Amino acid sequence: MREITPAQNWALIAIFIAGSGVLYDLLFASGTPIVGAIFALFIGMPILAFERKVFFRKLSRRMQKLPTLAYIAVELVAYIILMNIGFTLAGLLLWFVGRFEKAVWTDFLILPFNVLLYSLVMCGVLIFILRVRELLGRDVFLSMIVSRYRNPVKEERIFLFIDLVGSTPFAERYGDLRAQQYLSALFAEFAEPVRHSKGTIDDYVGDAAIITWPLERGIRDARCVKCIFDILNAIEDNAETWLQNFGQVPRLRAALHGGFVITAEVGIDHHKISFFGDTVNTTARLETLCRSLNRPVLISTDLANRMTLPDTVQGEDLGSHAVKGRGQTLGVMALTSSVAALNGPGRQQIK
């Protein structure tokens, strides 16, 4: 599947929003389509930017911690404020260039109720689609829309297994509820590095996460390798916060491997795109080697040889090792980051 760049993604969103403005103009107004498109862009784009956390990130995170009804109410107020600001800016801009000769600037200070209602509906539809896409994962959402995996497909993919070290003792000490909060906070830390590396979080299994890329996308600029170290560095950067909130900083084990899998859409009432084959099982077994080899990050030699590692990442050849359930040995390399070693003594010493 062709990779959509962030710029292309925002362009598609802008086209949808501009189109909704043109539609409103055709249905309810007597202006020109370009006017409707301009108003829609000024009204809708700030909402989407806020929703996507382009600005006011801390405010958005605080809002998400509110009870559901309070969150909906506060978010609605934020939307109305942003819409009104956008409407005022668009109106003043068009008035300034002479588009509204009979109007005065005060006409654009308050967003008309019918425009507000229409804008809320159209933004709600778009936000709902984006939320579903985030819930399923970008690739999964698009693949289900086009039914790409309705029939099983053989393809090459990379898998990253990340496991939290010491989750059982944490649960025994603080209880299952606190342990779940700990895991939720940890998995939330994965989101931005995975998104930045163009990967997809396939699943959460207990205290482990499975991240995947199509092979060509994952090895490009060593994105799959950068992803794991971005996660480790993000955790270390927030070490004080982790200590304050949970009494310890998460320690992780991670393994990377790639190869052919069979990808298929499964399920009737609950659809899911699943991956089958030795590559998935081998990655899981490779992650268990982290403990016996006393290395936090491992990668199969075959996968490492298919990319150029970042300058800040060093690979140590550990030779071939028997992997449980696999009929032949697997070449293994340990990965460490020199940047992490310089910025924090604890970053890569996670065993």
* pLDDT given for residue 89 in this prediction: 92
Please check the confidence at residue 17 and state whether its pLDDT lies above 50. Answer: yes
Residue 7 CB neighbour total at 10 angstroms: 8
Percent share of the chain, pLDDT over 70: 86
Angle made by CA atoms 122, 125, 129, in degrees to the nearest 5: 145
β-pair type (272-276, 153-165): unpaired
* pLDDT given for residue 96 in this prediction: 85
Please check the confidence at residue 342 and state whether its pLDDT lies above 50. Answer: no
Cα separation, 115 vs 173, in Å, equals 54
**Cβ(59)–Cβ(75) below 8 Å:** no
Per-residue pLDDT averaged across 106-130, rounded? 82
Q: What is the mean pLDDT of the chain?
A: 84
Please check the confidence at residue 340 and state whether its pLDDT lies above 60. Answer: no
Q: Which 8-state DSSP code applies to residue 2?
A: P
Cα separation, 123 vs 24, in Å, equals 13
Q: How confident is the model at residue 134 (pLDDT cuts 50, 70, 90)?
A: low
* pLDDT given for residue 335 in this prediction: 95
Whose tokens are 């899911």? That residue is 272
Whose tokens are 């997809």? That residue is 200
Please check the confidence at residue 180 and state whether its pLDDT lies above 80. Answer: yes
Q: How confident is the model at residue 350 (pLDDT cuts 50, 70, 90)?
A: very low
Per-residue pLDDT averaged across 203-207, rounded? 89
pTM of the model as a whole: 0.69
H-only helix segments in the chain: 6-28, 33-51, 57-64, 68-96, 113-136, 138-145, 167-174, 176-196, 215-219, 223-237, 239-246, 278-293, 301-304, 338-343
As beta bridge partners, residue 258 has: 158
Per-residue pLDDT averaged across 58-85, rounded? 82
* pLDDT given for residue 99 in this prediction: 79
Per-residue pLDDT averaged across 81-96, rounded? 90
Per-residue pLDDT averaged across 62-75, rounded? 78
Cα separation, 255 vs 46, in Å, equals 39
Among the residue ranges 108-112, 143-147, 171-175, 313-317, the one predicted with the least confidence is: 143-147
Give the range with max mean pLDDT: 107-116, 279-288, 333-342.
279-288
Residue 211 CB neighbour total at 10 angstroms: 25
β-pair type (251-266, 297-300): parallel
Cα separation, 99 vs 283, in Å, equals 62
| Domains of the chain and any CATH numbers | 6-136 (no CATH), 144-343 (3.30.70.1230)
Per-residue pLDDT averaged across 192-206, rounded? 88
Angle between helices 167-174 and 176-196 (to 10 degrees): 140
| Contacts for 149 with CB less than 8 Å, ≥ 6 apart | 143, 263, 264, 265, 273
Go through 76-107 and write b for each residue having 16 or more CB atoms within 10 A of its CB, e for each that does not: eebbeebbbebbbebbbebbeeeebeeeeeee
* pLDDT given for residue 275 in this prediction: 87
Cα separation, 302 vs 286, in Å, equals 13
Cα separation, 47 vs 109, in Å, equals 18
